[in-house]
Structure formats: structure tokens, C-alpha cells
A = this chain, B = another copy of it.
Amino acid sequence: MTADSWLNQLQQGGYRLTEARRAVVDVVSACDHALTPVEVYDAARQVYPALGLVSVYRTLEKLDELGLVQRVHQEGGCNAYLPHADGHQHLIICEQCGRALYFSGDDLSGLFQKVGEQHHFSITGHWLQLSGLCAECQPE
């Protein structure tokens, strides 16, 4: 289970396992759409009502540090988190329901290198994100 793996990695990282962290990890590790700190807070309190919003911020910070979550940028805001991509992957996000999904296998570095040369840039990274409608949100 992802949650257990995350908890292990927190512990390996020298952090203690607490109720607050367990609650946050349970919510975020299992979620298929990006959540803001407050959304994590609301969801996690259903399991652990004593949770403080501060601990959500602090836990997300540590999960980010450990590479277990990543921040998601969208029109609506840039403070939502998802389980981190596995290797080099990019996001597709449903603009209706927010479902997020990673895909891989794009090989664009050649193209990007070429574009870079044309503009005298040496390209070191790229950021690609698709948006659309997931199966469930498409009209019949």
C-alpha cells in the first residue's frame, strides 16, 4: 500500500510517525485529484478530528521534501498536491472533475532541443500538462 510506503519513508527520513501524519498521508497518497492544504485538512479530519491545519502544511512540506508529492499548477491555483509522478511523466487533468492521471512515453526532447537551438537556448527541462475530459465527463 502506498500509504505504508510513505510512512516508512517518513520514518527513514528521520521523522516520527504520528496520528496527524498518518491522517494526511492516508488522504493524499490515495487521492486521484489534486488537493489543496485545506481540502486535505477537511478530508483528514474525518478520520482524525483533532488534526490542525498547521500540521497539514508541515506534513505536505516534508512529503514534498521526500519527493512523495508534487505541486500541481492550474488556472484556478497552484497550491494543490498530488502523489509524485513515477519517473519522467506528465499530467492529464480533467477540466470537469479534476481527475488527474500521469502518462509517459512522450519523446519530445529531440524536438525541444531543436526549438532551443533555433533560439540559442540550451534546453535543460520541460513542463508539459494536458487538459481535457475524462471518460466519465465526456458527453455520452
Contacts and interface: CB of A to CB of B under 8 A. Distances in A.
A79 to B, nearest CB: 9
A124 interface: yes
Indicate how many identical chains form the complex.
2
Interface stretch (A16-24, A31-39, A42-50, A111-119): A111-119
Contact-residue size bin, chain A (C-beta under 8 Å from the other chain): 20 to 34
Contacts of A121: 92, 94, 101, 130, 132-135
Interface of A: 73, 78, 92, 94-95, 101, 103, 105-106, 108, 111-112, 115-116, 118-135, 138
Given A120-B135, A125-B132, A127-B129, 14 more contacts: A92-B119, A92-B121, A103-B115, A103-B119, A116-B132, A121-B132, A122-B132, A122-B138, A123-B132, A124-B132, A125-B130, A125-B131, A126-B130, A128-B129
